[in-house]
């Protein structure tokens, strides 16, 4: 089987997706999970973009144990220096240099001639190579570039010391056959390309990112660039889970394999969704709620007789928990820890203690707790921050043609503070009461509420995005009471704001 390297750019290209920004602790948490997932390369960020980006790349480089860690850099010495200073602490550092090669980019964005582009590639790839042995060069907008010139760009980068040449479909314009032909052309017409990895980086503007990526691999590419849940700029990137499971499920056809631990896919996908507050579509391939659900009687009969009739993958292949073991209010802490471990969650004693309190409270409200409930509790713990404010109780008065009133009681340090407010609805009233308690000048940018478990007593996860000054913060809350989950999400976001000051 041909070995394919997986280059994950969730923390760089993915994070550039609107609404998907992450703070340092969230990026570190995601990087650790990507390390556990078994990707080959983590693109940790764009170090020169901001001091916060530099710190994130540096911290990830010092944390990750198994993966290569890369930082993106334009073809400028300042960018390359910043990238190197951020990744030099990694066990396996990489500098990722890029420059556009299409005529439209060179004319309107770069204001450079072809000769100037080739000179810049040669100069800056060589400079990056003098700092780091592993250098990747990307020809931005490669799929819309003149093929002969693109080949010359790749040849120049290889001669300057590049170990990887990346061929991006930057604007998601190409079709699978075009990408197959492009990689084939480069392999046949670029001196030295047989000695380096050829990488593919496809965007999903026309919905063909995964198909284009697989076509590149079939044509001879040895590295694929992708993101968890396919997040990324505009319509997103090629989805990591779809590419990996396509290669695994159609192993005999593709004759390729990756080092990804597929049983960590579901956990990784859910963690990212929990961190960013962006829900996974039920119909999303591989990890969507409906991916292994069957409602049609014909389908159900077939699956009962033999799962292969309608399931080409087993849920366990990607780590989807099975609802076989039921926990309830009589279960103890050891049973909870054991179930968490079976689901792939390792928790400290302090985290378990905190989760157990919420587990017991939930068990009093629900007769039986499923694996999905336990998973939701585990994921909600990822949003735990120093609790400057802690919800004690809330009472709301709401209904048709009556005034919506909320009374919220919050603990701050050792003080109990209670406020009452009127709002357009019960949640609006509760948020105004919390604002009176905190005194912060906030604006609610976004609010969403999703059922994260099944049944009439399903838990609801509320996600809010709060703006404080120029910064945006995500807060999450979980409860069987949707108003309580909304208040918890608001207070969680406020605690992040206070903790960042």
Q: DSSP strand E in 291-414: where?
A: 389-397, 404-412
The burial of 456, by beta-carbon neighbours within 10 Å (0-12 exposed, 13-18 middle, 19 or more buried), is given as: exposed
Contact 351, 297 (CB under 8 A): no
Sequence-ordered list of residues with C-beta below 8 angstroms from that of 284, at least 6 positions apart, any chain: 229, 291
| Model pLDDT for residues 339-397, shown as the tens digit of each residue | 787 777 777 888 888 888 878 887 777 666 767 777 777 776 665 667 789 999 999 99
- Domain at 2-276, CATH class: alpha beta
Report, as an integer, the average pLDDT of 309-331: 71
Report, as an integer, the average pLDDT of 68-72: 98
Residue ranges of domains in the chain: 2-276, 321-382, 386-500
d(CA 23, CA 56): 8
| Model pLDDT for residues 102-135, shown as the tens digit of each residue | 999 999 999 999 999 999 999 999 999 999 999 9
pLDDT band at 326 (very low <50, low <70, confident <90, very high): low
Which residue in 52, 66, 65, 62 sits closest to 24, CA to CA?
A: 52
Architecture of domain 386-500: 2-Layer Sandwich (3.30)
pLDDT for res 321: 62
Contact 267, 35 (CB under 8 A): no
For Cα atoms 231, 237, 238, give the angle at the middle one, nearest 5 degrees.
Answer: 115
Which residue in 471, 415, 483 sits closest to 442, CA to CA?
A: 471
Structure tokens at 316: 């366990």
- Asked if domains 2-276 and 386-500 share a fold, the reply is no
pLDDT at residue 224 above 50?
yes
pTM of the model: 0.78
Structure tokens at 323: 């609802």
Which residue in 52, 51, 55, 42 sits closest to 12, CA to CA?
A: 42
d(CA 221, CA 226): 14
pLDDT at residue 495 above 80?
yes
Of residues 484 and 348, the one with the higher pLDDT is 484
Contact 109, 103 (CB under 8 A): no
pLDDT at residue 286 above 80?
yes
The mean pLDDT of the chain is: 89
d(CA 202, CA 96): 16
Sequence-ordered list of residues with C-beta below 8 angstroms from that of 58, at least 6 positions apart, any chain: 47, 85, 86, 87, 89
pLDDT for res 300: 47
- What backbone torsions phi and psi does residue 448 show, to the nearest 5 degrees? -140, 155
Name the region of 266 (left: φ>0; alpha: ψ -120 to 50; beta: rest): alpha
d(CA 253, CA 243): 14
Report, as an integer, the average pLDDT of 190-212: 98
pLDDT for res 413: 84
pLDDT at residue 476 above 50?
yes
Report, as an integer, the average pLDDT of 324-352: 74
């Amino acid at each position: 089987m041909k070995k394919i390297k997986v280059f994950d750019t969730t923390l760089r290209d993915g994070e550039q997706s609107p609404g998907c920004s992450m703070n340092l602790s969230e990026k570190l948490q995601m990087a650790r999970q990507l390390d556990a997932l078994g990707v080959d390369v983590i693109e940790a960020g764009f170090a020169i973009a901001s001091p916060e980006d530099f710190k994130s790349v540096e911290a990830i480089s010092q944390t990750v144990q198994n993966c290569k860690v890369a930082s993106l850099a334009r073809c400028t010495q300042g960018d390359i220096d910043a990238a190197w200073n951020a990744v030099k602490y990694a066990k396996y550092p990489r500098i990722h240099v890029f420059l556009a090669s299409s005529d439209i980019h060179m004319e309107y964005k770069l204001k450079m001639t072809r000769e100037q582009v080739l000179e810049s590639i040669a100069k800056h790839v060589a400079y990056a190579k003098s700092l780091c042995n592993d250098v990747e060069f990307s020809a931005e907008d490669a799929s819309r570039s003149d093929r002969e010139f693109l080949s010359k760009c790749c040849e120049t980068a290889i001669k300057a010391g590049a170990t990887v040449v990346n061929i991006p479909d930057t604007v998601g314009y190409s079709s699978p056959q075009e990408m197959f032909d492009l990689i084939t052309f480069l392999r046949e017409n670029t001196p030295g390309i047989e000695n380096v990895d050829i990488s593919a980086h496809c965007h999903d503007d026309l919905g063909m990112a995964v198909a284009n990526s697989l076509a590149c691999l079939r044509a001879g590419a040895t590295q694929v660039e992708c993101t968890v849940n396919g997040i990324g700029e505009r319509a997103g990137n090629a989805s990591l889970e779809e590419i990996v499971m396509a290669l695994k499920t159609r192993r005999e056809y593709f004759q390729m394999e990756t080092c990804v631990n597929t049983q960590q896919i579901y956990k990784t996908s859910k963690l990212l969704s929990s961190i960013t507050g962006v829900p996974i579509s039920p119909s999303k391939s591989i990890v969507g709620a409906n991916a292994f659900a069957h409602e049609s009687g014909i389908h159900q009969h077939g699956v009962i007789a033999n799962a292969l009739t309608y399931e080409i993958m087993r849920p366990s292949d990607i780590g989807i928990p099975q609802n076989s073991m039921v926990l309830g209010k009589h279960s103890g802490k050891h049973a909870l820890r054991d179930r968490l471990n079976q689901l792939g969650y390792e928790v400290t004693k302090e985290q378990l203690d905190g989760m157990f309190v919420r587990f017991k409270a939930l068990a009093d409200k629900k007769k039986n707790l499923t694996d999905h409930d336990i998973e939701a509790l585990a994921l909600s713990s990822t949003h735990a921050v120093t609790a400057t404010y802690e919800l004690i109780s809330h009472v709301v008065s709401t209904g048709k043609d009556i005034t919506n009133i909320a009374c919220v009681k919050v603990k701050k340090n050792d003080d109990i503070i209670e406020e009452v407010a009127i709002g357009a609805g019960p949640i609006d009233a509760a948020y105004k009461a919390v604002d009176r308690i905190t005194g912060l000048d906030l604006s609610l940018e976004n609010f969403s509420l999703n059922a994260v478990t099944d049944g009439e007593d399903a838990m609801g996860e509320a996600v809010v995005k709060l703006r404080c000054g120029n910064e945006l913060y995500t807060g999450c809350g979980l409860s069987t009471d949707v108003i309580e989950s909304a208040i918890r999400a608001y207070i969680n976001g406020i605690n992040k704001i206070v903790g960042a000051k």
